[in-house]
Amino acid sequence: MSYRWLLTVRSLTVDQTTHYRSQLSQLFSKKLKILLHTQWFDPEPTFKGLLFAKSLHKAGHEVEVLTGFPNYPGGNVYDGYKISFYQRELIDGVVVHRVPLYPSHDNSAKKRVFNYISFAASSLLLGLLKIRKIDVIYSYHPPLTASLSAVFLGLLKRVPVVVDIQDLWPDTLAATGMLKNPKALSIVGKFCNLTYRLAAKVVVLSPGFKKRLVSRGVPEDKVQVIYNWCDEQAISNFSPCELKLPDNGKLNLLFAGNLGYAQGLPAIVKAADILKSNNIPVNIVLLGDGVAKQDAVNMSQELELDNVFFLPRVPMSKVGALLSAADILLVHLNGDELFKITIPSRTQSNLAIGKPIIMGVEGDAAELVKESGSGIICKPNSPELLAEAITSLAEKSANERAAMGQAGQKFYYEKLSLEKGVKQFIDIFESIV
């Protein structure tokens, strides 16, 4: 009997062997209780929010969330919520613990700091009081203060913490102008190093982030690259949107997302002025809100541009309707060196929707567009080069633009999808528990 069993095992194909190993792994793997510690969570716009929590739950793990009362990005508490000492709610089967914070997201550095510190303090205190029997903490960074709270909570509860670095502080603070004092930046840097030291694992969004952290002394085997994904449900099964793109016979180029200083909006508006002067039939549509939006509106009015349109922020469930209606999608940041190792979150959604992309960002983000064949790369913060790239794409045939979009979509689902990213996170969680 043993001999026959041995012959059976030896006769298994590679695919069968892989299948049985996977079944055995699932049989003996432990069901984890995972705490997602994040200052921003649904209904706020965040791609590591409810979608991530539900995916972990679907994979067989118990998930709870520790977050604040929703106020991002406008700084106003959302309808249906009122800041209190503590609120517990259930969203699609996920337990969400909400703790108080000072709601703010404007140009005031002092208010922004108070917003960050208030959440860090309340999440640490109420995390100790309200969170029970967890195996691992996942912390979404930024801000740094949230990750500091998470690692101290992990120390006190004696559970490992995975920190997901989305903004490289203090570099981002200096690049965006939020913090300029060298001494203050040095202090922030020290707190960052403390966070990395206390974390069991550090996840970063690009190879450039990993190189930067390793150069600062973080052990290479402690840092893992996991590319961000997008809200695939919102992209593929979007709700109808009452807002519409211009219908004036021109191609519509859409820039969707946060309209902050880092996005280099003046260069985009000036590129529109060049397009108008050259009679290039392209509208530039900016969708969203942010601290730099009004300045861009004023600039477009001063230049008397009839090819620049501004649309307000819409829920993620409706963004896909506008992305799918666009002819060209734009990703753009200003020319700071830091952004060469940054991959803006809109990159993934633009790839997944299957539209040609103009990538006005150098470095890791540009490499994704280059590798996928999904669009044209141009130097950031250059109105002339951006206008040239837009013109080049506008002059291609509809079939050529469609082929670029299809190539980007194929690349996304093969390399950057939610399924692949969540599996990598679960592997990390299981390895450190």
Q: For residue 23, is it within any domain?
A: no
Q: What is the pLDDT of residue 65?
A: 98
Instruction: Give the C-alpha separation, 106 to 30, whole Å.
Output: 44
Instruction: Give the C-alpha separation, 428 to 433, whole Å.
Output: 9
3-class SS at 383?
Answer: helix
193 and 255 inside one domain: no
112 and 38 inside one domain: yes
133: CATH: 3.40.50.2000
Q: For residue 16, is it within any domain?
A: no
Q: What is the pLDDT of residue 93?
A: 87
Instruction: Give the C-alpha separation, 166 to 343, whole Å.
Output: 9
Cβ within 8 Å of residue 80, ≥6 positions away: none
Q: For residue 3, is it within any domain?
A: no
92 and 138 inside one domain: yes
Q: For residue 118, is it within any domain?
A: yes
Under-50 pLDDT residues of the chain: 1-11, 14, 18, 20, 22, 24-28
Instruction: Give the C-alpha separation, 361 to 262, whole Å.
Output: 11
Q: Is the distance from CB of 318 to CB of 245 less than 8 angstroms?
A: no
- CA distances 48 to 43, 107, 126, Å, are 12, 25, 22
Q: For residue 5, is it within any domain?
A: no
Q: For residue 24, is it within any domain?
A: no
411 and 421 inside one domain: no
281 and 332 inside one domain: yes
Cis amide prior to 170 (ω within 30 degrees):
yes
Cis amide prior to 219 (ω within 30 degrees):
no
217 and 264 inside one domain: no
121 and 216 inside one domain: yes
Instruction: Give the C-alpha separation, 98 to 10, whole Å.
Output: 54
Q: Domain tally for the chain?
A: 2
Instruction: Using alpha carbons, select from 88, 41, 31 the residue that is nearest to residue 62.
Output: 31
193 and 251 inside one domain: no
Domain that holds residue 393: 234-415
Q: What is the pLDDT of residue 6?
A: 40
Q: What is the pLDDT of residue 1?
A: 43
Tens-digit pLDDT profile for residues 317-350:
899 999 999 999 999 999 888 889 989 989 999 9
Q: What is the pLDDT of residue 345?
A: 86
128 and 76 inside one domain: yes
Q: Is the distance from CB of 269 to CB of 305 less than 8 angstroms?
A: yes
| Residues across the chain | 433
Instruction: Give the C-alpha separation, 163 to 99, whole Å.
Output: 20
43 and 164 inside one domain: yes
Q: For residue 25, is it within any domain?
A: no
265 and 148 inside one domain: no
248 and 206 inside one domain: no
DSSP state of 32: P
Tokens matching residue 141: 């960074």
Cβ within 8 Å of residue 195, ≥6 positions away: 141, 144, 147, 148, 151, 163
3-class SS at 165?
Answer: strand
Give the helix ranges, DSSP H, for 29-60: 50-58
Strand ranges inside 17-149, DSSP E = 33-37, 62-68, 87-91, 94-99, 136-141
Q: Is the distance from CB of 421 to CB of 56 less than 8 angstroms?
A: no
- CA distances 308 to 204, 214, 296, 392, Å, are 35, 42, 10, 19
Q: What is the pLDDT of residue 33?
A: 97
Q: What is the pLDDT of residue 175?
A: 67
- Separation of first and last alpha carbons in the chain: 39
Instruction: Give the C-alpha separation, 214 to 9, whole Å.
Output: 44
